[in-house]
Chain A
Amino acid sequence: MPYNVAVCIKPVPDPKYYDRITIDPQRKTIVRSGIPTMINPVDKNAVEAAMQLRERFGGYVAAISMAPPDAREILREVLAMGADAAYLLSDRAFGGADTLATSYTLYKGLKKIELERGLPFDFVFCGCESADGATAQVSSQLGEWLAFPHLWNVFSIESVSPDSSGGRESFKLRTKIENGFMEWVGRTPLVLGVSREMNKPRFTSVMGIMKAKNKPLTVWGLADFAEDDGHGMDSGLIGLSGSPTQPGEIFTPDLKRSGETLTGTPEEIVERIFAVMRSNGVSLVFEP
């Protein structure tokens, strides 16, 4: 059966420009303006997983992102990779969001897409973590908001057999753990945080770029989430005000070291160095 798939995309600063990144000491957020962005690398694995699912079973793939307006470019790339449609949730009110407010906003966006298309999502793929924040929280939070089963660090997905009772297919899923993997069987709808090992993302083709020109890219702001359709946003749950995470102090550690000039014969100096090291707990016993 064909599946409706959503892929969450995050634009992250291009690692080539990491040296230009600063942190706003007041808001304690990364200052991203003026730094070229790219698709969060593991999000491409999520896109690839969605593409493979569509190639195998048919269906529809929508990309969704909560980001500043210039993330259009990033979403065009996902369309060029093969997604059918893209949605950008962009509003000043969404700014300053932590993972909870981000996942809430994405959840509302996904619900709105479902409402407009009249079809529920069967899969929501996310990259397992972002290259900048690396909290790895959004996919699980999104699963909770949507009340879908969710798994994180998924590296393999395989269909098992159609479920006779509900007609829904079961999927065998594997997640990475420290010394091996865990195997799960899940039934749609599912939210999956995809790991890098899942696949090798396809390259964007020239034909894909040309097709992307004519694919829909919708931008929604806060005002587009009207209360009357039952999917309005709670303004207390978005942006900075919806973010319970409060970063602590941000400071550059003082790495200055004090030096002491030792005088005497080399033997005396070595003795002195050893004494200081021993007194600081450094073991100087050599075992053959």
Chain B
Amino acid sequence: MHFFEFSEEQKMLRKAIREFVESEVAPLASEWDEKDVCPGDVFKKLGELGVNGIFVPERYGGAGLGHVERAICLEEISRHSAGLGMTIMTHHLGIYPILQYGSDEQKDNYLPYLCSGAKICGLAVTEPGGGSDFSGQKTLAEKADTGWIVNGRKCFITNSHNADVTVFTAKTGEDEKGRNKLSAFIVERGAKGFEPGRKEHKLGLRASVTGDLVFADAKLSDAALLGKEGGGSRIGMEGISEIGRGGMSAIAVGILRGCLEEAIKFANERIVYGKPIAKLQAIQFEIAKIRTSYEAARLLTYYAASLKDAALPCANEVATAKLYSTEASVEAAKRTMDLMGGYGVINEYAVGRFLRDALTSIPSGGTSHIHQIVIAGGTLKDFQA
């Protein structure tokens, strides 16, 4: 038995998603990037294929698979459009807490149409004060006679303007030491006092929408509370550290794959001195480096996802995978660009977009510095005498 091998069904899944992506995503990816639009129709079709609820049990309308399968889908989508990958990955990030912490009613209420492709989900945690200062959130949810009144602003939120359902965290009080107690809520598009604010103009991942969400005396019912009051830190952190970072890692693997394929295609087609540049060792070195980082990123990413599927602790493994894969994708895109010479900076080629997408994947789900802090923290604990 190989140390790492996909099952027959997983291979079929990859093939099926690849066929879909090559037909419905690849021809339009560059246009979405240029126009900075998220393709809602393709999102819907992915829902019909089962991608949007890939890890959600069948009883809620999902495909009943796991996080390895999710990573396969994200890799294949991001091979051509990391931006669309980002939209799907964030949709999963919003779905996950509903599935893990939602009441039966909330699950029955939201999951079927979030899985089918009819509606888009998102998760809003980050605030102008920073995303990594998780407990310093200022968005305030105050208990009213009935329900909650929410005030505050979330920023850098993916699917901000196109999500129908958003899971968000807000301060609902302080503990005895004066630390913020956070709770998670579900808010639907159109709720009174809740609306998207500024839409960001991003460098990359542009087939996904990023922007602000504004709560101005937003009134939410008691049923909007997700999980226990005060349980928001755990809900938010688990989602981000396992689903968000795991997803970003898979997106970066897709970018790496895209770079590898672009580099090989170009190296075989470009004739210099009467032969394809793929015959030149200087070019082969670059291809070898891209291949090596792709394989390494893939192993880290799928290994971390398999831990998640086995319900084992995986935050540190996911962080390792995300740190490596996203950094490697930037480097691979740069190498591919170098390999292509002048063509590399012409926008008709996808590699420039890959580089912008790769760079944008770094701060998503926590910067590389934050990841190093997480990894170091876990490592020092693991190796404690």
| B-facing residues in A196-213 (Cβ within 8 Å) | 203-210, 212-213
Task: Say whether A54 faces chain B, with CB atoms less than 8 Å apart.
Answer: no
Nearest CB in chain B: distance from A12 CB, A = 15
With contacts A205-B49, A205-B50 known, is A80 near B16, CB below 8 A?
A: yes
Closest chain A residue, CB of each to CB of B45: A203
Checking A203, A207, A212 against B63 with a beta-carbon cut-off of 8 angstroms, the contacting residue is A207
A contact residues around B63 at 8 Å (CB):
206-207, 210
Task: Say whether A76 faces chain B, with CB atoms less than 8 Å apart.
Answer: yes
Closest chain B residue, CB of each to CB of A213: B9
A203, B50: Cβ atoms under 8 Å? Answer: no
- B-contact 0/1 string along A202-238, CB 8 Å cutoff: 0111111110110000000000000000000000000
Task: Say whether A77 faces chain B, with CB atoms less than 8 Å apart.
Answer: yes
A209, B9: Cβ atoms under 8 Å? Answer: yes
- B-contact 0/1 string along A162-206, CB 8 Å cutoff: 000000000000000000000000000000000000000001111
- Count class of interface residues, chain B: 20 to 34
Task: Say whether B54 faces chain A, with CB atoms less than 8 Å apart.
Answer: yes
| B-facing residues in A61-115 (Cβ within 8 Å) | 73, 76-77, 80
Closest chain B residue, CB of each to CB of A207: B50
With contacts A206-B69, A210-B63 known, is A80 near B12, CB below 8 A?
A: yes
Nearest CB in chain B: distance from A121 CB, A = 27
Q: How far is the CA of A205 from the CA of B20 in the complex (A)?
A: 10
A contact residues around B49 at 8 Å (CB):
203-206
Checking A73, A76, A77, A206 against B54 with a beta-carbon cut-off of 8 angstroms, the contacting residue is A206
- B-contact 0/1 string along A110-151, CB 8 Å cutoff: 000000000000000000000000000000000000000000
- B-contact 0/1 string along A18-62, CB 8 Å cutoff: 000000000000000000000000000000000000000000000
Q: How far is the CA of A77 from the CA of B64 in the complex (A)?
A: 19
B50, A77: Cβ atoms under 8 Å? Answer: no
A209, B16: Cβ atoms under 8 Å? Answer: yes
Q: How far is the CA of A188 from the CA of B238 in the complex (A)?
A: 59
Task: Say whether B65 faces chain A, with CB atoms less than 8 Å apart.
Answer: yes
Checking A76, A206, A213 against B50 with a beta-carbon cut-off of 8 angstroms, the contacting residue is A206
A contact residues around B305 at 8 Å (CB):
none
Q: How far is the CA of A22 from the CA of B240 in the complex (A)?
A: 51
Pick from B45, B49, B63 the residue with the most CB of A within 10 Å: B49
Q: How far is the CA of A282 from the CA of B190 in the complex (A)?
A: 75
Q: How far is the CA of A11 from the CA of B13 in the complex (A)?
A: 19
| A-facing residues in B16-47 (Cβ within 8 Å) | 16, 19-20, 23, 45
Task: Say whether B314 faces chain A, with CB atoms less than 8 Å apart.
Answer: no
Q: How far is the CA of A207 from the CA of B46 in the complex (A)?
A: 12
Q: How far is the CA of A282 from the CA of B340 in the complex (A)?
A: 43
B51, A206: Cβ atoms under 8 Å? Answer: yes
Nearest CB in chain A: distance from B345 CB, A = 28
Closest chain A residue, CB of each to CB of B48: A205
B contact residues around A73 at 8 Å (CB):
8
B48, A76: Cβ atoms under 8 Å? Answer: no
Q: How far is the CA of A90 from the CA of B12 in the complex (A)?
A: 22
Q: How far is the CA of A80 from the CA of B19 in the complex (A)?
A: 14
A contact residues around B50 at 8 Å (CB):
205-207
Nearest CB in chain B: distance from A7 CB, A = 18
Nearest CB in chain B: distance from A26 CB, A = 32
Q: How far is the CA of A206 from the CA of B76 in the complex (A)?
A: 14
Q: How far is the CA of A207 from the CA of B16 in the complex (A)?
A: 11
A contact residues around B13 at 8 Å (CB):
206, 209
Nearest CB in chain B: distance from A77 CB, A = 7
Q: How far is the CA of A210 from the CA of B63 in the complex (A)?
A: 8
Nearest CB in chain A: distance from B95 CB, A = 15
With contacts A76-B12, A80-B12 known, is A206 near B65, CB below 8 A?
A: yes
B16, A205: Cβ atoms under 8 Å? Answer: yes
Q: How far is the CA of A288 from the CA of B119 in the complex (A)?
A: 64
B contact residues around A207 at 8 Å (CB):
50, 58, 63
Q: How far is the CA of A210 from the CA of B69 in the complex (A)?
A: 12
B contact residues around A209 at 8 Å (CB):
9, 12-13, 16
Pick from A208, A209, A210 the residue with the most CB of B within 10 Å: A209
Q: How far is the CA of A213 from the CA of B13 in the complex (A)?
A: 12
Q: B residues within 8 Å of A by Cβ?
A: 8-9, 12-13, 15-16, 19-20, 23, 45, 48-51, 54, 58, 63-65, 69
Given A207-B58, A210-B65, output 9 extra A-B contacts at Cβ < 8 Å. A73-B8, A80-B16, A205-B16, A205-B48, A206-B16, A206-B54, A209-B13, A210-B9, A213-B9
What are 11 pairs between A and B in contact, CB < 8 Å?
Answer: A203-B19, A203-B20, A203-B23, A205-B16, A206-B16, A206-B51, A207-B58, A208-B16, A209-B9, A210-B9, A210-B63
Closest 8 pairs between A and B when the two form their complex, measured CB to CB: A206-B50, A204-B16, A206-B63, A203-B20, A205-B49, A209-B12, A207-B50, A205-B50
